[in-house]
Amino acid sequence: MAVMSAEPGRQSLDNTHDDPRERAPLVIGHDLASLTDKICAIVERPGFTTWWKICFGISAGVTGILGAMVLYLITTGVGVWGVNAPAGWGFAIINFVFWVGIGHAGTLISAILFLFRQKWRTGINRFAEAMTIFAVICAGLFPGIHIGRVWLAYWLFPIPNQMEMWPNFRSPLLWDVFAVSTYFTVSLVFWYMGMIPDLATVRDRATTKLRQWIYGALALGWRGSTRAWVHYERAYLLLAALATPLVLSVHSVVSFDFAVSIVPGWHTTIFPPYFVAGAIFSGFAMVVTLAVPVRAIFNLEDVITIRHLENMNKILLATGSMVGYAYSVEFFIAWYSGNFYESFAFTNRAFGPYWWAYFAMFTCNAFVPHVFWMKSWRTSPVRMWIISIFVNIGMWFERFVIVITSLSRDYLASSWGHYTPTWVDWMTFVGSFGLFMTLFLLFLRFIPAVAIAEVKSVMPEGDPHHYEHAHGHEGGA
């Protein structure tokens, strides 16, 4: 006879054990009420803490630089940047792809991991989604200001205009407009819908009329009715099912910007899935970069546990390997193709004038994450934070390598050139981090940073069966 039964659970602060006989707890030492208290306390604290004010001050200052740079660009012209023939795409496109890529992790966590029933996603999905939206805002900025005459940006959309012209739908750049704006809209809807029950929680706990009004309006009158939960959960599932191919499509479309052309090094069929893997890789690195300090500052170690971080690092390892796979296949086929220009493009990347960028990219993306084979690195917040920074840097350089090496050395040696970014390029890039951090800090201050209702539904206390037994523990990671 085959007899199977669940073993009684075990609780400790370290939940990274790998005993296959039981699932590790995802929330340590909380019941439903204490969890709500803990998360809500962050947004209910009166006034602003000192560290918040300092961070916000710095971020706002850096955002100011961004504003000044954009103003300078618009009043003077795109000549203030380093872009010129042959490298007509410089920092603007690099930063655009970099930020869009970062945005992908939020949707991965909220949608794809949801479809895969990865319950640990509930601890981190709220702020990963927030990060997505802010990253897409930063991304959208760059093509917006790159077009030169920003007041004509509406030409990008199929809006009737005085010249009776329509956009060219055979251009991948126009696909980008649709992909990124759809992505932003859908991510925002998904994020907001996920937030409704928690906004209602903050509303019900409000001690002042103003808070009650604001959060009450945002919560749309949500009262946790089961008849509403049925539609709500179905909507959540449907949005996840829609967001999953969407997130794949967005970076695929971004890769089309390059791959539909016949520029050596750009025109290769693996670009769509390779870009998607890279995007998720960079996005997860950014989630780790943000999660580690947030968790330490707000003492969220019992909600965003070491196991959450370990899982994220495993995903970093997996996606990093996918990126490494794509690098290898690209390199192999560049040789295998027998195409002179293809193989030149790749030797040029590795040994040409931008070898340092290639070196940075390859080291940070294809080698450094492999330290996560070691559990001690996967579970140490300080170490993983450092690695995540490396990955962020590496993924920025990946876009630099793709954009710049191919443009500066294409078919005709007579039209080769060298791209050098100007100080305006650099300051605009730095400024975009200011915008990102400013939005993120506002989010931390005013919106529950962890999806309380979702975490409750994966806690043992959330399962009615829990109350049938004295010792029933069902987590699941």
Partner 1 sequence: MAEQTKLWGVLAEFDNPLKLMKASEAVRDAGYTKWDTYTPYPVHGLEKAMGLKDSWLPFITLGAGITGTAVAILMQWWMNAVDYPINISGKPMWSLPANIPVAFELTVLFAALSTFGGMMFLNDLPKFYHPTFRSKAFKRVTTDRFFLAIEAADPRFDQARTEELLRSMHCTDVQSLED
Partner 2 sequence: MSAHHKVEIPDEQLRLGSGVSKLWIVFLLIGVVALGAGYFMGQGSDETREQFFRSYLQNFSYFLSLAVGCLFFVLIMRLCRAGWSVSLRRMAEIFSMTLIPLALLMLLIIPGIHDLYEWSHADHVEGDKILQGKAPWLNEGFFKFRLVFYGLLWAGMAWFFARGSIRQDQSKDHKITNRLEGLAAPAMFIFALSVTMAAFDLLMSLYPHWYSTIWGVYFFAGSFLGAVSMMVLLFHFLQRTGVLQNVVTAEHFQDLGKLMFAFVVFWAYIGFSQFMLIWYGNIPEETMWYKARMIGFGEGGWADVSALLLVGHFIFPFFFLMSRHLKRRGITLIFGAAWLLVMHWIDMHWMVMPQLHPAGPSLGLMDVLCFLGVGGIFLGFGLWQLGRQALIPVGDPRLHESLSFENA
Footprint on this chain of partner 1 (rule: CB under 8 A): 31-33, 36, 158, 164-172, 174-175, 178-179, 182, 185-186, 189-190, 193, 197, 200-201, 203-205, 216-217, 220-235, 238-239, 242-243, 245-246, 249, 252-253, 256, 453-454, 456-457, 462-468
Shortest Cβ 20–partner 2 spacing (Å): 4
Closer residue to partner 1 in complex, CB, 234/375: 234
Closer residue to partner 2 in complex, CB, 167/462: 462
Shortest Cβ 159–partner 2 spacing (Å): 26
Closer residue to partner 1 in complex, CB, 61/221: 221
Distances (CA, A) of 221 to 40, 218, 445, 450: 19, 8, 22, 21
Shortest Cβ 337–partner 2 spacing (Å): 5
Closer residue to partner 2 in complex, CB, 213/336: 336
Shortest Cβ 418–partner 1 spacing (Å): 28
Q: Which does 168 bind (CB under 5 to 8 A by kind): partner 2, partner 1, none?
A: partner 1
Binding footprint of partner 2 on the chain (CB under 8 A): 1-6, 18-21, 23, 116-117, 245, 248, 252, 256, 259-262, 267-273, 317, 321, 325-326, 328-330, 333, 336-339, 373, 463, 465, 468-469, 472, 474, 476-477
Shortest Cβ 400–partner 1 spacing (Å): 25
From first CA to last CA, the distance across the chain in angstroms is: 29
Closer residue to partner 1 in complex, CB, 286/455: 455
Shortest Cβ 308–partner 1 spacing (Å): 19
Reduce the DSSP state of residue 472 to 3 states and report it: coil
The CA-based angle 393-397-403, given to 5 degrees, is 155
Closer residue to partner 2 in complex, CB, 182/212: 182
Closer residue to partner 2 in complex, CB, 289/313: 313
- What are residue 87's phi and psi, to 5 degrees? -90, 80
Measure the CA–CA gap between 394 and 406, rounded to whole angstroms: 18
| Ordered DSSP codes for 166-193 | ---TT-HHHHHHHHHHHHHHHHHHHHHH
Q: Which does 234 bind (CB under 5 to 8 A by kind): partner 1, partner 2, none?
A: partner 1
Q: Are 114 and 120 in contact (CB under 8 A)?
A: no
Closer residue to partner 2 in complex, CB, 58/240: 240
Q: Are 449 and 127 in contact (CB under 8 A)?
A: yes
Residue 202's contacts (CB-CB under 8 Å, 6 or more residues apart) are 40, 43, 44, 211, 215, 219, 448
Nearest to 202 by CA among 43, 32, 49, 45: 43
Measure the CA–CA gap between 434 and 370, rounded to whole angstroms: 30
Distances (CA, A) of 380 to 305, 309, 313, 387, 422: 11, 9, 10, 11, 38
Q: Which does 376 bind (CB under 5 to 8 A by kind): partner 2, partner 1, none?
A: none
Shortest Cβ 273–partner 2 spacing (Å): 6
Q: Are 92 and 83 in contact (CB under 8 A)?
A: yes
Measure the CA–CA gap between 99 and 142, rounded to whole angstroms: 10
Q: Which does 201 bind (CB under 5 to 8 A by kind): partner 2, partner 1, none?
A: partner 1
